[in-house]
Amino acid sequence: MAYKNFTVETDADGIALVTWNMPDKSMNVFTEEVMVELNAITDEVTADAAVKGVVFTSGKSSFSGGADLSMIKGMFSFYQAEKAKDASTAAQKLFDLVGKMSGLFRKIETAGKPWVSAINGTCMGGAFELSLACHGRVASNAKSVKIALPEVKVGIFPGAGGTQRVPRLTNAQDALQMMTTGSSLTASRAKAMGLVHQAVEPDQLIPAAKQMIKDGLKPVQPWDEKGFKAPGGGIWTPAAAQLWPAATAILRRETGGNYPGALAILKCVYEGLQVPFDTALRIEQRYFTQILQTTEAFSMIRSLFISMQELGKGARRPAGVPKSEFTRVAVVGAGFMGASIGYVTAAAGIPVTLIDRDQAAADKGKTVSEGLVQGSVQKGRMTKEEGEKLLSLITPTADYSAVKDADLVIEAVFEDRQVKKEVIEKVEAHMKEGAIFASNTSTLPITGLAKNSKRPADFIGVHFFSPVEKMMLTEVILGKETGDKALAVALDYVAAIKKTPIVVNDTRGFYVNRCVFRYIHEAYDMLFEGVPAAMIENVAKQSGMPVGPLSLNDEVAIDLSQKILKASIADLGEGAVDPKHMALVNKMVDELDRKGRKNGRGFYEYPAKPAKKFLWPGLKELFPQQKAEDVDPAIIRERLLTTIALEAARTMEEGIVTDPREADVGSILGFGFAPYTGGAISYIDGMGAKAFVAQCEKLAKSYGDHFQPTPLLKDLAEKGETFYQRFNPYPAEAKAA
């Protein structure tokens, strides 16, 4: 029988090689069609007496990334549609739906013939769950092989048998660690944990897999054998009595209890190890059904899986503009930021010209890349040869005429209008026709900078975040005259360096920094009120933020906060800034020389390593503190999350951000806004505009008018709409419906 997504070839030894190779995808993914075909293949090889066993592998460089977007979307759409028809039966129908994949994998492992998974590349999520259902697993030891169950990162958990097979193959502690963090394993680590049987050279993968069958691999899983015991003895052992209370405490410490999917993993493993395997699968299926009904799962999957992929693939790219092929990029300004931009560009295989005021400064910029390469080589993330190739792509120079061959010029000089003006003029004197000029600025409006350009249609902003090599977000900022070609080139470049873009219309601070500084300024207000600094920081982290607002201010630099506030006053007048905020940063910077982490003194003290940073004790003298028991942590949480979400709503109302996907993804990738909410806009949609408006009005009465809900929010509340309905990012789908 012929299949669209698979080929089946049986050799002289009776071993069927099933190769997964979807013709219209760069990576194999599970779709409804794939599931139907795999079920048919299982029936075919089971019924064929000539087939002694099956080797399952991929025809692509990767094995599989797991479930497809359409399949994930389909589960939520199915449940919402069934709920609208009959709420009393919707959960049962969802339960039946989510059991299909698990049921198929169980069918494979109980069909009576040995299956071996030959893992040749990235093997994620459902693909690894399929591999776990095979009786044997062989993985290539190539560096490209990454094995993981990363579902927790998008709000769900391994729901196709993963929570039951992993802890029956390895000890419960390692199993919990792998699944609750979603971390990737190398082939050798997976073998050490007992999750794969062999790690072999890439060219030996299929022969080794076939040999397992020839050697008499039993078509029965260990847990289906009589007398099976889980590694470590299962739940009722002294070791387990120590593990489970600690595991629960650690999970609460790491997640603040904000991630239902992570907690469900613990429940699935703990309950599942106490019952027969088929019952354990039903327990997992029950919890998976529950998690799919949570706001957290819906919002996280939408933002961190679906929207991130859509934006990364160019959802906002103008149609009709040919895709850019970059032969050379020039970066002007070889300071730490510019040098890091040069590094990520070269890491993408694009030749880079790194320009600064003199050769010494340009050469110093290249040393940043040399340091990053050295670190990667030492950690085994890059070979010495790969590092040398990367560095060979970076050419430092003081000659501005070197931009003449660049398709894209990125300016990353000091955050000063006059300095940027001079650079723009120097660069344009040598830029070739059709090349695009991008300014990396964190706050200065692009339209104003573009006034210094003779070609404003080819002028755009590309705002990177530090450290560039780690931060996955870029803001692409449109000036009033920016053309479609400039936008397309900028988005193509961001895709080439493997980052996620959001497109933002021009305004002071753009999107991310506007939200970031609302977060920081709310912490200033709390300090003035006498809220203990430790409470501000700890509650922020318990709320799902990666760092507290005072710690974040230290990282971005308090003197940068001072410059931004001063620039706001200069451009917009004294009323644009809270005078108490200005006084605080002036005192910290000018009087106390506390500029943040960069000079080892800010809201925190930064002692020499290995000692950890700690809050500056002098804050208690600057701001007399209330007793901790008199401060409600729930109010701190509300204030910090609400002020950010409210600012995000303002940017959409003002037309700065026009797509809610970008507001959500930008808030999570840009400054780590509580990922379990799905982002700043999903935080509002998740509770409903009516409840959010009520929350804003309550906070405004006690903590200031900056919490007053905007007209748009009040209108959404009145009409019972969400941002994703009002600013629908899928208008074509809405028309089709």
Q: d(Cα 431, Cα 350) in Å, to the nearest integer?
A: 18
Please tell me the predicted confidence (pLDDT) of residue 733. 60
Say yes or no: 472 and 545 in one domain: no
Say yes or no: 239 and 385 in one domain: no
Say yes or no: 531 and 578 in one domain: yes
CATH number for the domain spanning 372: value is: 3.40.50.720
Give tens-digit pLDDT for 372-382: 999 999 988 88
Q: Are 390 and 347 in contact (CB under 8 A)?
A: yes
Q: What is the largest CA-CA distance in the chain?
A: 85
Please tell me the predicted confidence (pLDDT) of residue 556. 87
Q: Which single residue is written with the structure tokens 């809270």? A: 578
Say yes or no: 63 and 198 in one domain: yes
Q: Are 476 and 491 in contact (CB under 8 A)?
A: yes
Does an H or E element contain 264, and which?
Answer: helix 260-272
Say yes or no: 603 and 699 in one domain: yes
Listed residues 457, 480, 508: the one ending a domain: 508
473-478 and 500-505 beta bridge pairing: parallel
DSSP SS3 for 410: strand
CATH number for the domain spanning 198: value is: 3.90.226.10
Say yes or no: 575 and 500 in one domain: no
CATH number for the domain spanning 616: value is: 1.10.1040.50
473-478 and 459-464 beta bridge pairing: antiparallel
User: Residue 312 domain-assigned?
Assistant: no
User: Residue 323 domain-assigned?
Assistant: no
Please tell me the predicted confidence (pLDDT) of residue 688. 96
Please tell me the predicted confidence (pLDDT) of residue 563. 87
pLDDT class of 732 with cuts at 50, 70, 90: low
Name the pTM for this structure: 0.90
Q: What is the mean pLDDT of residues 604-631?
A: 91
- Show Cβ contacts of residue 215 under 8 Å, excluding neighbours closer than 6 positions: none
DSSP SS3 for 437: strand
Q: What is the mean pLDDT of residues 489-494?
A: 96
Q: Over 70: is that where the pLDDT of 691 sits?
A: yes
Q: DSSP per residue over 601-657, as a string?
A: BSSEE-PSTTSPPEE-TTHHHHSPPPPGGGS-HHHHHHHHHHHHHHHHHHHHHTTSS
User: Residue 240 domain-assigned?
Assistant: yes
User: Residue 736 domain-assigned?
Assistant: no
Query: In degrees, to the nearest 5, what angle opens at C-alpha 416 toward C-alphas 583 and 335?
Result: 105
User: Residue 1 domain-assigned?
Assistant: no
Q: Over 80: is that where the pLDDT of 103 sits?
A: yes
Torsion, Cα 616 622 623 627, to 10 degrees, reads 60
Domain count within the chain: 3
User: Residue 694 domain-assigned?
Assistant: yes
Say yes or no: 119 and 173 in one domain: yes
Say yes or no: 649 and 678 in one domain: yes
Say yes or no: 139 and 224 in one domain: yes
Parent domain of 496: 329-508
Catalytic residue ranges: 463
Give tens-digit pLDDT for 561-604: 998 898 888 888 888 899 999 999 999 999 999 999 989 999 99
Listed residues 457, 482, 508: the one ending a domain: 508
Give tens-digit pLDDT for 507-561: 888 899 999 999 999 999 999 999 999 999 999 999 999 999 999 999 989 998 9
Say yes or no: 439 and 570 in one domain: no
Listed residues 248, 276, 293: the one ending a domain: 293
Give tens-digit pLDDT for 68-91: 877 888 888 888 888 888 888 999
Average pLDDT score, the chain = 93
Q: Are 514 and 643 in contact (CB under 8 A)?
A: no
Helix residue spans in 393-483 (DSSP H)? 417-428, 446-450
Q: Over 60: is that where the pLDDT of 684 sits?
A: yes
Please tell me the predicted confidence (pLDDT) of residue 736. 44
Q: Are 148 and 128 in contact (CB under 8 A)?
A: yes
Say yes or no: 248 and 126 in one domain: yes
User: Residue 310 domain-assigned?
Assistant: no
Say yes or no: 462 and 563 in one domain: no
Please tell me the predicted confidence (pLDDT) of residue 138. 98
Q: Over 70: is that where the pLDDT of 737 sits?
A: no
User: Residue 732 domain-assigned?
Assistant: no
Q: d(Cα 137, Cα 212) in Å, to the nearest integer?
A: 9
Crossing angle of helices 512-529 and 549-556, rounded to 10°? 120
